[in-house]
Structure formats: structure tokens, C-alpha cells
Structure 1
Amino acid sequence: MKLEMICTGEEVLAGQIVDTNAAWFASTMMEHGIECQRRVTVGDRLEDLVSVFEERSHHADIILVNGGLGPTSDDLSTEAMAITKGEVLVENSVWRERLEDWFTRNGRVMAASNLKQALLPASALMIDNPVGTACGFAVKHNRAWFFFTPGVPFEFKQMVVEQFIPFVKQHFNITGDVALRKYLTLGQGESALADELEKIELPEGTTLGYRSSMPHIEIKLFARGKMAIAQLDKVEAQIRFLLGNALVADEKKSLAEEIHSLLVGTGLTLSVAESCTGGMIASQLIDFPGSSSYLDHGLVTYSNESKVKVLGVKPETLDDHGAVSIATVEEMAKGVRAILDSDYALATSGIAGPGGGTDEKPVGTVAIALATKGGVYSQMIRLPRRSRDLVRSLSTAVAFDMLRRELLGEAVIIDYGSIGRFKK
């Protein structure tokens, strides 16, 4: 079975918004053993939509079309499919009633333009949208089934899970002989990782892929076919050995997600004091539901005065060593941990740039500390020639990895390769 996706919208094509739907869709389908073999992005132009629908209908078995089902003049997916099929648009009475009921229940007056969302190609099968005003629909043309969904992410994702995947399984024989494993790395560039992993003699049907999502590089191990899947554990063991300290998580999108999984439900607690990272550590953790069970507080102590008055950093420490120093960041970590007697505390202080550096402490110099009930670990890292955002995100990742390693009983301070360190 050949699965493809067509993404519509001028804002997607022009790069005004990032198409997160496509990435989520491909990943979700892979979890069900189905590879998305091609993705096409097309703007809101009727002739382009018709051309793409016709052309791909001869090559794919099923095509998910995302977007263009709204009530406005630039929502053209339904009309384009009708033209492609050579059919008229017919009002679907079931969906019209649903629309009228939805607006009545929500105390709103339905605009005349919303009736456009009840028009479907004559041969189309209506697909329910339980959380929005645009119904989906499915229609067969040449070789392919086209399955239309709205572009609103919340609506799209629910329809994929509740309608699209069952539709695929109903119409096609899904063998599921595809497997994917993902490994998150930190501190090594893509080329360096590839050079190291090229030492592995991959079995037939097995491939390695790389995705840069700074501050991480994600490595993807694909296996296609039962023989390749049977050898995944052997290949993974070689990957783990060769990656060493660069490997920081499995099947996670970020180190924040890894820390969340290690802390949630354990009864352990964490406090955070941030200067150069400006709340990034705490913000990444509270993206995950349940983080309140372990995150006591996150403080952004940006000024020296706040470090002294809020965290108890000694004025003479700042005078003698400066805000970006091992001494200061250790006192920050101990101070924030002591407020609620948290089990762990992280602290950062650095020069994110583009200005503010000196010969002794250039831009990209960051001090990070991890305080525990038994002591404090700290290091100064060097991130030259990085953007301000990357200095902050890399510093956040290193802080998370220090905590991760402590939670797993591993050495907290390590060499990351491309991330330099000041020696104490």
C-alpha cells in the first residue's frame, strides 16, 4: 500500500507557518507500521490543486489531504476534488443539520458562508468531524482513495486517530512489517555521528536516518521486513556502544521529556534558578502534564541583586568571581534548593550574546550547577560562534543531562565532544 499526503495552504507553502500536522501524521502512521512515501505541499489555487489530485491519483493507493475545508473563498479542496472527478457539489443534509445544531448549541448565528462546508462531491462519503464545523470526506479517483481532513491541528489529529486509521485498515491489508526506533543525542554534530555509525554493517532492509533538531540530533533506525526487524536489538546494541555518552534518550523528542519521565510519579522534587536560560528549563518541563508533581518552582534571577536577595548568593562571591562563575552558580543552586528543601536544583548563569563577552569569559560561556541533598556538581561550558537562542537551548540541554545522569547513577560531568568545557 502506498500512502501519500497532500498539504494545502498558501501560509504553509510560503513558510508563514510550520506544518506540524505533516510531521505528526508521518510519525503516527509509522507507529502503525505504515510509511508515508510522499508529501506534496500546494497553495490555495484551484488549478494547482486539481493538477496535483489528478497526478497523484495514478500513483498512490490512499492520499490524506489536509486543509482547505473551511468556509472562506480560499478554501478550495472540496471544489478541486469535484472538478477532478467531473462531479457537481451536492449539499449533505446530515452535515447541514450538524452545522445548524452546532451554532444553535453555542448561541451563535451561522453565517451563510458556513453552508459551503456542507457541500461535497456527489460520490463522496462524509467523514465525521466531532470537534469542528468542517466535515471530512473520502472519495475514490483512479487508483487512489482521497481522504480529506481540516487543517486545524486539534481536529485533524482526532480525525486521523478515530477515522483515518480505521479507514486504512478496513480498505487495505496492513502487514505492519516496518519498525522504527529513535535515539536522541547531545554534543555531537550530524557528520561526526554518521562517521561513527558507518562502522556498523547494517542488515538488508535496515537504514539509519538523521534529523537535526537543535540542540539535539535524532538518529532513526528503520527496519523493513521481518528479517530486518528480528535483528533490531543487535543493531541497537552496536549503536549504543558507538554513541557512548552522546546518547541521552530513547524514543523521546527532548531531554525535557526524558527528565519528566524520570521524575513524574517518583515523589522526588526539583527547583530551578535561571539566569541566561531565562526560564527555558522550567518552561520545557511544564509542557508536560503532571510536572507539578515534581517541579517545586522556577526562578529567573537575572540581575545580581536578585541572585543575592532571592537566592542568598554572597555579594563577595559576585565581586570576586563574577555572575558567570562556578562559585556563583553553585550558590544559586544551593539557594534555590534550600527554599523548599527540594531533592534537586538546577542553576544556570552565562553570556548568551551577542555582546557582553570578555577575553576571559567570551560569549557562549555558561556556568551550570546541579545541587542535591548530598552535594553540588558544577561545570563551565564553552559555546563559541553559536546564536543567542542556541547558547540558551544547549545550556538547558546540558543542565537536563546533568540531572538525568544523576538520576540514573551515572557520572554527572562528562565531555560532550563539540561542547567545550573550562577546566576547574
Structure 2
Amino acid sequence: MKAEIISVGTELILGDTLNTNSHYISRSLTENGIEVLFHTSVLDNKKLLKDVINIALNRVELLIFTGGLGPTNDDMTKEILSETLDLPLILNSEIEKNIEKYFKGTNRDMPKNNIKQAYLPKNSKYLKNEIGTAPGIYIKHQGKIIILLPGPPQEMKTMLDNYVIPLIKQEDIIKTKTINTVGIGESQLEMLLKDIIENETNVNIATYAKMGKVDIRLVTKGKNEKKIDAELYRVLKNIENRISEYIYSYDNLSIEEAVFNSLKEKNMKIAFCESCTGGLITSKFTKISGASQVLDRGIVTYSDNSKIEELNVNKLLIDKYSSVSEEVALAMAKGLLEKTNVDIALSTTGIAGPTGATENKPIGLVYIGIALKEQSFVVKSIFKGDRNTIQNRASTKAFDELRKILK
């Protein structure tokens, strides 16, 4: 099913209000197997809105409107849609009572113009607004599904989650599965899966690149749930056979959550000492509930002196190789392992930029040291981007190296 999201409101066009509704709806539809093709924003203008409606009716099967359902004269979404579809508006007494009840609950009389919100296009269903006064509207008309939602984000989100998505799912059984990968770029991933993606007819396969990671989303739909599950499993296994070394989760986990789960399963403790990442690795890890079960400590050893004092790194080593080197990264990790007696110690040192580069050491150079009781090693990487991007990519790489060890 192809969809268009239409946001109605002059305030959106003028930039007075940030359109968070489209983002939320688009993500929710995509997660449920609906292909969103267009985002349209339009002024509170009768002619323009009518034009937008006619264009959308000719190019998608699902139209979702937000905004323009209020009681004022410039709230006209329902009225223009009713006129365009030739569906007369009919007063719904149940909605009228709900609106009156809403105002009584706030110790106010219902303004006369709010009665406008109790009218529905003929043959439509109303979606209860549990927060405000404007009900949503669900219309099936000449093979199209048309949904009108209120503009206030919290009202829209509640209605979308509680009513709209379940109604859409009634049209077809929709199943999705996300494969989380790390350590491989989107273009390389698509090359490895090119024939599967191009030849697959029953399951839609799409890749989504993130910071150092790529998600593969599988979507299929139909009337027979067993058949749908079998199709999804078949494609998932085909993909798994090609790229299993890069897969870290099937449950939409973050890479740090996957590492946490592995450490917890193996009853292992970890510690971090960070230079160029400045505590980002520790920060990401401690966002996980229960992180204290496996994390001993995280320290930022930014200066040379801190590396010497906190990690017992030999000053001569820093003088000879500099603090941004394989040798110092290894010494940092080993020093932390000895100091804490954890199972794994991880260090980072590098040049996040925009300053600090030398002829032999460019911006983006990062060394990740990992020390265990039985082995120690260093991974060298060069990342592109600004300071924030380099730090984030370095943290993702660090967690990926831990993932490989813990497999």
C-alpha cells in the first residue's frame, strides 16, 4: 500500500511550527509495511487544499491528513474533503455528547462553533480523541483509505497508535523483521544482497544506513499468516547465509545493547578508558538499564599525564610514539585491565579534529585497544566527518570489536 502524508496548516508553511507529525506517522507506517511516497504540506487555503487532495487521490491508496479539524473558520480539512469526495457532512450525536462532556470536565460551556467538530462525512467512521475535542475520521472511498487526524502532536500520536494502525492492519496481515548489521557499509551490503533484493517478489527488502550501522527491513503482507511467516523466514535465512558475520541483532537493539547482553550472558565485567571519544562509549553504555551488572568503570584519560597516572602508561612510550599510537592504545587497555581486574578493558585514542592532525596522523585516525587476560590487540581506523561524527563512528567501531570477541 502506497501512502501520502498531508499536513495542513499555514503555520507549518511559514516555519512557525516544526512538523513533527509527518516524521512520526512516516516512521510508524514504514515499520508496519506501508510505503510512504510523499510528504505534502499545504496552507489553510480552500483551492490549494482541494488541489492537493485530487493529486493525492490519483497517486496513492492511503491518504493521511493532519490538522485543520478544529472549530475555527480556517480549519477546513474535513469540509474540503467532503466537498471533493461528494460526501455530505452529517451531525453525529455521539461525538456531540463527547465534546460537551469534555467542556463540562473543564467547567466550561461548549462554544457554539465546536459543534462543527461533531459532523462527519457520510459513510465514515470516527476515531475517538482521548485528549482533545477533534475526533479523527476514517473513510473508505472508491478503493482509497482516507484518514484525518488532529494537528496537536499528542492527540495525533495517541489516535494513530490506538486506532489508525490497528485499522490499517485489518486490510492485510503485515509482518516486518529488521536485521541489524554493523561493520559494513550500505553500498557493500547491497552488492552482497543484490540478487536477493532484485529477484524477491513476495518480501520487500530495504536498507537504511545509520551512524556506522545498516538496518535491513523485511516487509511482507497477505491474508494467510502461516504463508507470510514462511516467506519472511525464507528470505531472512537467505540474507543470513550471506552476511552472518555482520549481523548483531534481529530485535532492533543498539550495538551497545547487544554487547551488554553478551557480557551479561557470559558473566563478564568490562571497563573503558577513553581519550578521543571523551566518555561517549561509557555514556552510551550507561544508558542501558542494568549496565552496572557488567560495567566496572569508565574513565576519561584525555591528557598524557592522566594516561600515566591512571593507567600506568610509560612516559617514554608516549614520548617515542605519541599518545595517538598503537603502542599507547595497547598500554592504556592493559593498564586498565591490571588496575581493575575486569575481564575486558577497552581504550580509545585518536584525533577527532578539527585540529591536531600531523603529516602522518590525519584527522579521524583512531586506535582502539582491547585487553583480555589471554590476549590483547589494537584496531586502527580512519573515520571521515566532523568531530561529532568521528567520535560516534569510533564508539560504534569499539562496540563492534567487542561484539566480535564475545560471539
- Whether the TM-score (by the shorter chain) exceeds 0.5 is yes
The alpha-carbon deviation at position 395 of structure 1 amounts to 1.2
Q: Which residue of 2 aligns with 1:272?
A: 272
2:275–2:348: 8 Å Cα contact kept in structure 1?
yes
Q: Which residue of 2 aligns with 1:380?
A: 380
Amino acid at match of 2:371: A
TM-score, normalising length from structure 1? 0.73
User: Identical aligned pairs, as a percentage?
Assistant: 25
The CA distance in 2 between the partners of 1:43 and 1:339, in whole Å, is 62
Pair 1:196-2:200 in alignment: no
The alpha-carbon deviation at position 407 of structure 1 amounts to 1.6
2:210 to 213, 216, 220: 213
The CA distance in 2 between the partners of 1:191 and 1:57, in whole Å, is 35
Q: Which residue of 1 aligns with 2:86?
A: none
The alpha-carbon deviation at position 187 of structure 1 amounts to 3.9
The alpha-carbon deviation at position 358 of structure 1 amounts to 1.5
What per-residue deviation string (whole Å, max 9, x for no partner) do you get for residues 100-147 of structure 1? Answer: 64x68xxxxx9x9999888625117654454x4465421537443424
Amino acid at match of 1:406: I
The alpha-carbon deviation at position 197 of structure 1 amounts to 1.9
1:24 to 27, 33, 41: 27
Range with bigger deviation, 211-220 or 288-297:
288-297
Q: CA RMSD in A?
A: 4.2
The alpha-carbon deviation at position 58 of structure 1 amounts to 6.7
Cα 1:215–1:290, aligned 2, differ >3 Å: closer, same or farther? Answer: same
Pair 1:392-2:391 in alignment: yes
Q: Which residue of 2 aligns with 1:120?
A: 117
What per-residue deviation string (whole Å, max 9, x for no partner) do you get for residues 191-232 of structure 1? Answer: 332222224473432443222223223333444556675344
Cα 1:202–1:150, aligned 2, differ >3 Å: closer, same or farther? Answer: same
TM-score, normalising length from structure 2? 0.75
Q: Which residue of 2 aligns with 1:146?
A: 147
What per-residue deviation string (whole Å, max 9, x for no partner) do you get for residues 335-381 of structure 1? Answer: 44566544433321111223311222222210102233544332222
The CA distance in 1 between the partners of 2:291 and 2:262, in whole Å, is 11
The CA distance in 1 between the partners of 2:156 and 2:340, in whole Å, is 43
1:270–1:296: 8 Å Cα contact kept in structure 2?
yes
The CA distance in 2 between the partners of 1:134 and 1:261, in whole Å, is 45
Cα 1:13–1:338, aligned 2, differ >3 Å: closer, same or farther? Answer: farther
Aligned-partner SS, 1:123: strand
2:29–2:36: 8 Å Cα contact kept in structure 1?
no
The alpha-carbon deviation at position 243 of structure 1 amounts to 2.8
- Structure richer in helix, relative to its length: 2
2:69–2:77: 8 Å Cα contact kept in structure 1?
no
Amino acid at match of 1:22: I
Aligned-partner SS, 1:333: helix
Aligned-partner SS, 2:201: coil
The CA distance in 1 between the partners of 2:56 and 2:187, in whole Å, is 35
2:183–2:246: 8 Å Cα contact kept in structure 1?
yes
Amino acid at match of 2:210: S
Cα 1:53–1:38, aligned 2, differ >3 Å: closer, same or farther? Answer: same
The CA distance in 1 between the partners of 2:264 and 2:115, in whole Å, is 45
Larger radius of gyration: 2
Q: Which residue of 2 aligns with 1:420?
A: none
1:189–1:217: 8 Å Cα contact kept in structure 2?
yes
2:8–2:77: 8 Å Cα contact kept in structure 1?
no
Question: Structure 2: any 5+ residue segments left out of the alignment?
Answer: 84-88
Alignment of 1:221-260 (within 5 A): 221-223=218-220, 230-243=230-243, 245-252=245-252, 254-260=254-260
Amino acid at match of 1:217: V
Q: Which residue of 2 aligns with 1:186?
A: 182
Alignment of 1:97-108 (within 5 A): 97-98=101-102, 101=105
The CA distance in 1 between the partners of 2:316 and 2:113, in whole Å, is 70
The alpha-carbon deviation at position 148 of structure 1 amounts to 0.8
Amino acid at match of 1:294: V
Cα 1:399–1:11, aligned 2, differ >3 Å: closer, same or farther? Answer: farther
Amino acid at match of 2:80: I
